[in-house]
Amino acid sequence: MSKYVLGIESSCDDTGVAIIRDDGHICANMLASQYVEHEEFGGVVPEIAARAHLEKMDQLIIAAMRESGLNFNDLSAVAATCGPGLIGGVMVGMMAGKAIAAAHNLPFIAVNHLEAHLLTARLTNTVDMPYLCLLVSGGHTQILVAEDIDRYKRLGTTLDDALGEAFDKTAKMMGLPYPGGPYMQKLAQDYESRCAENGIDPKDIIAKYDLPAPLTQQKNLDFSFSGLKTAMRKHIDAIEADVISQQDAEELAYAFHQAVIKVLEKKLTRAIEQFKIDYQDALSALNTPPSLVVAGGVAANSFIRQALEDLTAAQNMTLIAPPVRLCSDNGAMIAWAGYERFKRGLVNELDFAARPRWPLDPNAEKRIGAGVKA
């Protein structure tokens, strides 16, 4: 008989509720995003986020159950994000999950949001562990190795801003709406198309802005994006007009993307080298080439996807980039991570405490400034 898991996500600004079947079929996947609520503040306001999760949660659970055609008693387990993230929101989803588990006598599974991002690849593709992961979201930027369920090794993390945060903050400086990542992408794409029409190489613009590629001279696999953000601010401040012209905005967005890609390529090339050496035996036991999994909202970026596609092809690796709607926060990834843990007998008690900080690799060295991004 098939098993079904309900998954609940509420760690940032997306309320997600989904039901997945044990073969990976997504029976329902409901999402309510809070763009409108946070737009005027240019970023996520924790208190507003928690209230918005509370307002939407019940309706989404009812809608997901209805869409799946299941009853609560048909479920095998209930999974909810219990961290890391904004604690008010996390508590809303966690308590909803615990209440359903208690009322229907179902196992409860406390899901680490980051683990769920990394396991999404196994919902959409057949991929064996170990695999290398690039997690790039609004809250996190990490390179990790997924060694096993519940066992991850962090190779690098950001020391300051997450990549999505750098996109959003730069976009805000340019007067773009929140979240700015997709708007930045659109501007860069428009620039590329305009160059193509005029027979210009878009890469010529890189020298004009000369943006930094922070930490690429260092051997470690850590990131820093605050210097890039500051460099962008200087260019934006140097523009005398009150409103940035379309041309300047397109050029800046394109140059920003190229700087980001340079950093990602440098760090990932080193990470791949290390991964292939450190996991040599496990990788040779696989019947497939090693995989790089990309996850998190920024993985939706078409320039980044293309750069990773080229990089992995050159390294005889397979890039696994789940569809955009499963890369950014959603309930299906929580339900799937819940199922993977349930299958291993990793269930939790109802007194499990929410964890605003919850590093995937407890043995990783602390990074000053990284905070919850570690």
Among residues 112 and 224, whose Cβ is nearest to Zn ion? 112
Q: Please count the CA atoms within 13 angstroms of the CA of 276 that sit on its side-chain side.
A: 14
Q: How far is the CB of 106 from ligand KG4 (least distance, A)?
A: 26
Burial of 313 (0-12, 13-18, 19+ CB in 10 A): exposed
Question: Which residues contact residue 278 at a Cβ distance below 8 angstroms, ignoring those fewer than 6 apart?
Answer: 145
Q: How far is the CB of 296 from ligand KG4 (least distance, A)?
A: 4
329 sits near Zn ion (criterion: CB under 5 A): yes
34 sits near Zn ion (criterion: CB under 5 A): no
Q: How far is the CB of 83 from ligand KG4 (least distance, A)?
A: 12
Query: Of ligand KG4, Zn ion, none, which one does residue 180 interact with (CB within 5 to 8 Å by kind)?
Result: ligand KG4
Pairing of strands 131-136, 108-112: unpaired
- How far is 110 from 347, CA to CA, in rounded Å? 7
Q: How far is the CB of 318 from ligand KG4 (least distance, A)?
A: 22
Q: How far is the CB of 137 from ligand KG4 (least distance, A)?
A: 3
Among residues 89 and 156, whose Cβ is nearest to Zn ion? 89
Q: How far is the CB of 341 from ligand KG4 (least distance, A)?
A: 20
Interface contacts to ligand KG4, rule CB under 6 A: 12, 137-139, 164, 167-168, 179-182, 185, 296-298, 300-301, 328-329
Residue with tokens 């986020």: 49
Structure tokens at 125: 């593709």
Among residues 15 and 137, whose Cβ is nearest to Zn ion? 137
182 in Cβ contact with 327 (< 8 Å): no
The arrangement of strands across the sheet holding 108-112 comes to: 26-33, 14-21, 4-9, 77-83, 108-112
Give residues 128-157 in contact with Zn ion (rule: CB under 5 A): 137
115 sits near Zn ion (criterion: CB under 5 A): no
Q: How far is the CB of 162 from ligand KG4 (least distance, A)?
A: 7
Among residues 180 and 290, whose Cβ is nearest to ligand KG4? 180
Among residues 135 and 231, whose Cβ is nearest to Zn ion? 135
Query: Of Zn ion, ligand KG4, none, which one does residue 181 interact with (CB within 5 to 8 Å by kind)?
Result: ligand KG4
Report the chain's terminal Cα–Cα distance, integer Å.
40
Listing DSSP states for 37-78 in one string gives: HHHTTTS--HHHHHHHHHHHHHHHHHHHHHHHT--GGG-SEE
Residue with tokens 């943006």: 211
Query: Of ligand KG4, Zn ion, none, which one does residue 34 interact with (CB within 5 to 8 Å by kind)?
Result: none
Query: Of ligand KG4, Zn ion, none, which one does residue 322 interact with (CB within 5 to 8 Å by kind)?
Result: none
Is residue 252 helix, strand or coil?
helix
Q: Which stretch binds Zn ion (CB under 5 A): 211-219, 283-291, 306-314, 322-330?
A: 322-330
- How far is 370 from 209, CA to CA, in rounded Å? 28
Site residues for Zn ion per CB under 5 A:
137, 329
